[in-house]
Each structure stands twice: as structure tokens, then as C-alpha cells.
Amino acid sequence: MSVEYNKEHRIPVPTLHPDNQGFWEAVQRKELVLQRCKGCGTWSHPPRPMCPNCRSLEREWSPASGKGTVFSWVTYREAPHPGFKAPYVVVLVELEEGARLVSNLVDVGPEEIAIGMPVEVVFDQVNDETFLPKFRKAG
């Protein structure tokens, strides 16, 4: 299953902000990037203006492999927003790089979901302007 939308109601789309813009610009190009510290190489997600490890302000966007595993997931039985059709799954993916991403699964049956399941990123166009990174079973 994948998340289905009620097209008459616009789902919330990411709020862009100078500290997170690089992530979403890459998603529009169908690339997954993570923020990384130029000083010590620590990955930060969600993006932060400063490195929590070495406190450097030198940040960069570094390509991520797009591969990871399911760390946890929930199933909404009732949609909290009219844009979403219930039931739907929200997943927390642990990427190879160590960072975690909240997302949705694509083409994964409810009985297949398991913590530790290998996944890889895909890019789903949810409306005219917006792509979202989502995950399918790794090949």
C-alpha cells in the first residue's frame, strides 16, 4: 500500500526556511541530501544551523545513499486531516548514514512491514509543486 490522498484537500506541504531549504531543493531534483558539518563531518537531521558536535557554523548538504531500514512505524486508522485517506502508515527510517527520517512507504503491504526491513528512497510527486521523499522495499 501507499498513502492515498483526497485531492480536493491540500495536504500540509513542507515549510521552507533558510536552515532547511537545501534539503527540499534537492528533493525537487529527486535527490536525497543530508546536512553535514564541514568541520567534523557529523550528519544532522533535522537540519540545524550549528553542528551539535563541534559547534561549527560551516554546514553543507551532502548526498545520502537513500538506503536505510525501518526503525519504527505507526498506522493511522482515522485520518487527522481531510487530505489523507485512512488507513495509512507513517514510517521512521534509519538511513545508512545514521540519520533518521519520518516518511511514508510505497508499495508495501501492511503485513510486510517489519522493524529492520531494508528500504530505499523514491520521490513521490504529491501535488503540482511538491515532491516528497518516500521509501520502498530495497531491491
Partner 1 sequence: MDGIKDKAAIVGVALSEFSADAGKTELRMSCEVIKAALDDAGLVVTDVDGLVKQSEDASDEHAVTSSMGMGNLTYFGEVKWGAAPCAMVLRSAVAVAAGSAKCVVVYRAVNGSSKLRMIPSMKTSGQMSTSDLLEWTFHCPYGLMTETGRVAMLVRRYMHETGAGAEQFGWVTTVCRENGAGNPEGLYHEKPITLEDYLASRIVVDPLRDLDCYKESDCAAAFVITTPEMAKDLKQKPAVIRGCAQSMVGETERMNSYYRPDIARLPEVGRVAERMFRTAGVRPQDIDVAQLDDAYAPLVPLQLEELGFCGRGEGAAYCEGGDRIRLGGEIPLNTSGGSLGEGHIHGMNHVVEAVRQIRGTSTGQVKGAELALVITGAGGPAAGLILGR
Binding positions for partner 1, rule: CB under 8 A: 3, 11-20, 24, 45-46, 48-53, 55, 57, 71-81, 84, 88, 90, 92, 99-104, 115, 126, 130, 132
Nearer to partner 1, 68 or 88 (CB): 88
3-state secondary structure the chain: CCCEECCCCCCCCCCCCCCCHHHHHHHHCCCCEEEEECCCCCEECCCCCCCCCCCCCCEEEEECCCEEEEEEEEEECCCCCCCEECCEEEEEEEECCCCEEEECECCCCHHHCCCCCEEEEEEEECCCCCEEEEEEECC
Nearer to partner 1, 8 or 15 (CB): 15
Smallest separation, CB 50 to partner 1 (Å): 4
Measured from the CB atom, the residue of 29 and 55 that comes closer to partner 1 is 55
State which residue, 14 or 41, has the beta carbon closest to partner 1: 14
Minimum gap (Å) between residue 69 Cβ and partner 1: 12
The rounded distance, in Å, linking the Cα atoms of 137 and 92 is 14
- Shortest spacing between CB 96 and partner 1, in angstroms: 15
Q: How far is the CB of 78 from partner 1 (least distance, A)?
A: 7
